Amino acid sequence: MATLSERILGAPAGTCVDRAVDRAYVHDGTGVLTLGTFRTIGRPLAAPERLSVLFDHIVPANTSVTADLQAELRRFAAEQGIHFTDVGEGICHQLMSEGTVLPGEVVIGADSHTCTLGAFGAFATGVGATDMAAIWATGETWLRVPETIRLELSGRLHGGAEAKDLALHYVSRLGMDGATYRALEFTGEGAATISMAGRLTCSNLAIETGAKAGLFYSDETTRCYLAEFGLEAEAQCPEEGCYVADLGIDLGAVEPVVAVPDRVDTIRPVRELEATPVDQVFVGTCTNGRYEDLARLASLLKGHRVRVRTIVVPASRRTLLEAARTGVVTTLVEAGCTIGPPGCGPCLGTHLGVIGEGEVCLSTANRNFRNRMGVGGEIYLGSVGTAAATALAGEITSPEALP
């Protein structure tokens, strides 16, 4: 009887293991520090074929300093033959989800939201620049095999609730440090009803409980998704009696919620906050910038006009292309949305939609920390449906109110 983390890492919880890394990636933000540290170690790359450098945080560059830093990293990737994606390709986690990461792999990213890729039944976790530099130099890292909390999902989402609402719901149940040093596993008949996009959203927020990883078991949904990329995936099955804690969630009871400033774990039903004015709506990020999200937004905005500035940033070029091909982009632009280049957008408060003092943003991202999107601004986190209803009303509005 073993958890998925124990099986992938090959040791019981509590053990420290040295483990070869199957995929390791950095973005333009953490890559610069990683490169500097790697050079001071003074060794060659141990396994360049497993590394990726994926530009997403400040794309295109906002200042000449950023441009210089990016140029150095771009040059290094080219010299070393490392897999590299430039400005406009998309968010690192999203790109790794588009036909790269497979069930059972060990995936390490120099970004806290690397846990997103647990959606495939991979052990995926974030590290800092020095850990990543050591991976560049040695091909492996050390990990303490985490204990696991099981989130047993039953029923089915309905009535305007999305996977994002489920994610905010479990974060609030566990708290911001409720799973520190531990992993989460999403199991049960309810997990099978959640799409790959929804699973990526759920795994994405695992870090907001302090968790090291957030894993779904590979199943038919995973297999079909990866088959579109020409990849095969083996099914994984949960075992009993290996969890340190259980949390049961009835998906049918999950309602549209928002996380209120400045904590991801403090949620309120959207209807209780109605009439709260907002200055900006932002739809995008590694949480909710996928094609399904943009298509849902377009379906709710079609034929209407937004009442506040609404910034939409596709998670990847593939997402943007699909949205262009299916008319989603046209619908969004006609509705008054502003489309940004694929990447992280204004999520981390550096460009493309930073908010001002006293301004309020309803965002589909994953963090509403104080000042994150701009000094003195406030962030409410919600689903794509809540973002759509809010954009149309100009104030926080539940998607349940939409026709």
Partner 1 sequence: MRLEGRAVLLPADVDTDQIIAGRYLRTKDSSVWAAHAFEDLDPSLAGRLAGAVLVAGPNFGCGSSREQAARALRDAGVVGVVAPSFARIFFRNAINLGLPIAEAELACEEGETVDLDLAAGTVRAGARPSVPCRPLSPRMQAILEAGGLVELLRGRA
Q: What is the largest CA-CA distance in the chain?
A: 61
Min dist CB 90 to partner 1, Å, is 19
The contacts of residue 224 (CB under 8 Å, 6+ apart) are: none
Kindly state whether residue 358 participates in binding partner 1, applying the rule CB under 8 A: no
Q: How many residues bind partner 1 (CB under 8 A)?
A: 47
Min dist CB 39 to partner 1, Å, is 10
Kindly state whether residue 266 participates in binding partner 1, applying the rule CB under 8 A: no
Kindly state whether residue 133 participates in binding partner 1, applying the rule CB under 8 A: yes
The contacts of residue 165 (CB under 8 Å, 6+ apart) are: 157, 254, 255, 256, 257, 382, 383
Looking at beta carbons only, is 338 or 350 nearer to partner 1? 350
Bridge partner list, 125: 108
Strand (E) or helix (H) holding 259: strand 257-259
Which x/- pattern, by CB under 8 A, does the window 158-177 give for partner 1? Answer: ------------------xx
The β-bridge relationship of strands 148-154 and 245-250 is parallel
Looking at beta carbons only, is 256 or 377 nearer to partner 1? 377
* HSE value, Cβ hemisphere, 13 Å, CA-based, for 194: 33
Stretch that binds partner 1, among 123-131, 231-239, 241-249, 269-277 (CB under 8 A): 123-131
Min dist CB 66 to partner 1, Å, is 5
CA distance 163 to 254: 9
3-class secondary structure per residue, 90-145: ECHHHHHHCCCCCCCCEEEECCHHHHHHHHHCCEEEECCHHHHHHHHHHCEEEEEC
Kindly state whether residue 224 participates in binding partner 1, applying the rule CB under 8 A: no
Q: Which of 276, 326, 338, 350 binds partner 1 (CB under 8 A)?
A: 350
Min dist CB 184 to partner 1, Å, is 13
Q: Which of 12, 158, 235, 371 binds partner 1 (CB under 8 A)?
A: 371
Q: Helices (H) and strands (E) in the chain — how many of each?
A: 14, 18
Q: Which of 1, 49, 65, 237 binds partner 1 (CB under 8 A)?
A: 65
Strand (E) or helix (H) holding 34: helix 28-41
CA distance 30 to 57: 9
CA distance 309 to 161: 24
Q: Which of 41, 71, 224, 235 binds partner 1 (CB under 8 A)?
A: 41
- Residue-level length of the chain: 403
Min dist CB 33 to partner 1, Å, is 6
Min dist CB 403 to partner 1, Å, is 38
Min dist CB 148 to partner 1, Å, is 14
| Residues within the interface to partner 1 (CB under 8 A) | 16, 29-30, 32-33, 37, 40-43, 58, 63, 65-66, 68-69, 110-112, 126-131, 133-134, 137-138, 142, 144, 176-177, 180-181, 210, 212, 263, 348-350, 367, 369-372, 375
